[in-house]
Chains A and B, each alone.
Chain A
Amino acid sequence: MTTHLSPQESVNALDGVLPQSRQSHLDSCASCRTHVEDLRAMMTTVGDVEDVPEPSPLFWDHFQSRVRAAVQAEMVQPARVSWWSRVTSMRGALAAGATVVVAAIAVALYPGGPVSPIAPSEDAPAAVADESMALDTAEWAFVSGMMDAFAQDDVREVLVPSTRAVDAAFAVLTSDERDAFVKLLTAEMAEGME
């Protein structure tokens, strides 16, 4: 005796696409036949209550206007920004914050401030070397490690002004200031070429 029809096979029987081997079972099995006929009757019952009321003819024009208005409203809405975009857009701010933290750590570890690159004037009293103010190797390694953790691009994003900012700054210069700026820039570029 073969097995009864599975749910899928019962649906295939409803659709008239049951393979011959299973059709033979259906023909000989009263239980399966009754079940398939019940399913068919239920399909008919469901089909008979199909009644989506037809809206007013004016509705369709109104509907098109509504869709058009909704689409236009969507078009003027700002684009949605994903959480990841927000995180990546804050990269610069995070890098800036981290830079400040590193600087604060460095200051805390070396309260005397950085060594001035300018040589002290001869009039000034000679600086007294204070070994307690010097960073030891482990502290430098810590600060250096923190600095290495930042990507170059992130640091550049914070420290290098944008093109728009440069344009804005240049726009407020007087004519003389612009001339001086161009001369400085030209001299700088010539120096770089040497």
Chain B
Amino acid sequence: MAAERMPVWGSGVEAEPGTQSVTPPAAALDLAAAEDRVLVAAFLAGSQDAFQIIVTRHQRAVYQVCYRFVRNHEDASDLAQDVFVRAFKGLKNFKGDSALSTWLYRVGVNCCLNKIAARRPDTEPLLEARHVDPHSDDPFRAVARSEKAAEVRRAIAQLPPRQRATLLLRVYQELSHEEIAGILGGSVGATKANFFHALSNLKRLLQS
């Protein structure tokens, strides 16, 4: 059987601030400052470094989106990896009518929704829920804040998947309703209604 023909991914690119990376080659240096659409075009034309720059540029945001859905590092890193593998195979379908980040979020949200649909309900890791800095000015207030945060996260985890996705993308990723509609599919009006119901349900869950 024939192997699927895909661009080759080379190595060496400038890392985002705060992360380490190997020394980038000259061609990668030129691409490192390029806009996303230029990187996509370069990747589709066979550039070996363009995709790595895309990963470097968006890995943190993609990881954060995934983390907010699954609330643990292992699953989040697996999902983020899956997002970029899918992106590698699917970038030829990227039309450029939205930002690359929005397109990656769409891939990520689909991966996450599939993941959470296939597993047991979320449970807040005990250590994460109880982690409090003992050196903070007011440890008691810190404990209360931490417990409140865990309670809110548990409530978010109980929301229906589309409401949860809408809430996370709106509040944390600060995406517009139009962008969220593009990611989740459906109208802007339906996205706003989802957001409204997410907040209303959250209030009800936290009061119960």
Q: Using a CB–CB distance below 8 Å, which chain A residues touch chain B?
A: 7-8, 10-12, 38-39, 42-43, 45-53, 55, 57-61, 63-64, 66-68, 70-72, 74-81
B171-208 at interface with A (beta carbon < 8 Å): 171-172, 177, 189, 192-193, 195-197, 199-200, 202-203, 206
Question: Is B203 touching A79 in the complex (CB atoms < 8 A)?
Answer: no
Chain B interface category by residue count: 35 or more
Question: Is A72 touching B9 in the complex (CB atoms < 8 A)?
Answer: yes
Question: Is B156 touching A7 in the complex (CB atoms < 8 A)?
Answer: no
Q: Using a CB–CB distance below 8 Å, which chain B residues touch chain A?
A: 1-4, 6, 8-9, 11, 15-16, 18-21, 51-52, 55-56, 59-60, 63-64, 67-68, 73, 77, 80-82, 84-85, 88-89, 128, 148-149, 152-153, 156, 167, 171-172, 177, 189, 192-193, 195-197, 199-200, 202-203, 206
Main secondary structure of the interface of B (DSSP, over half): helix
Q: Which residue of A lies closest to B86 (CB)?
A: A74
Q: Which residue of A lies closest to B201 (CB)?
A: A42
Q: How far is the CA of A110 from the CA of B118 in the complex (A)?
A: 60
Q: How far is the CA of A78 from the CA of B6 in the complex (A)?
A: 12
Chain A residues with CB below 8 A from B59, complex form: 60, 63-64
Question: Is A74 touching B6 in the complex (CB atoms < 8 A)?
Answer: yes
Q: How far is the CA of A74 from the CA of B4 in the complex (A)?
A: 8
Q: How far is the CA of A76 from the CA of B4 in the complex (A)?
A: 8
**How far in angstroms is the closest Cβ of chain A from B142?**
13
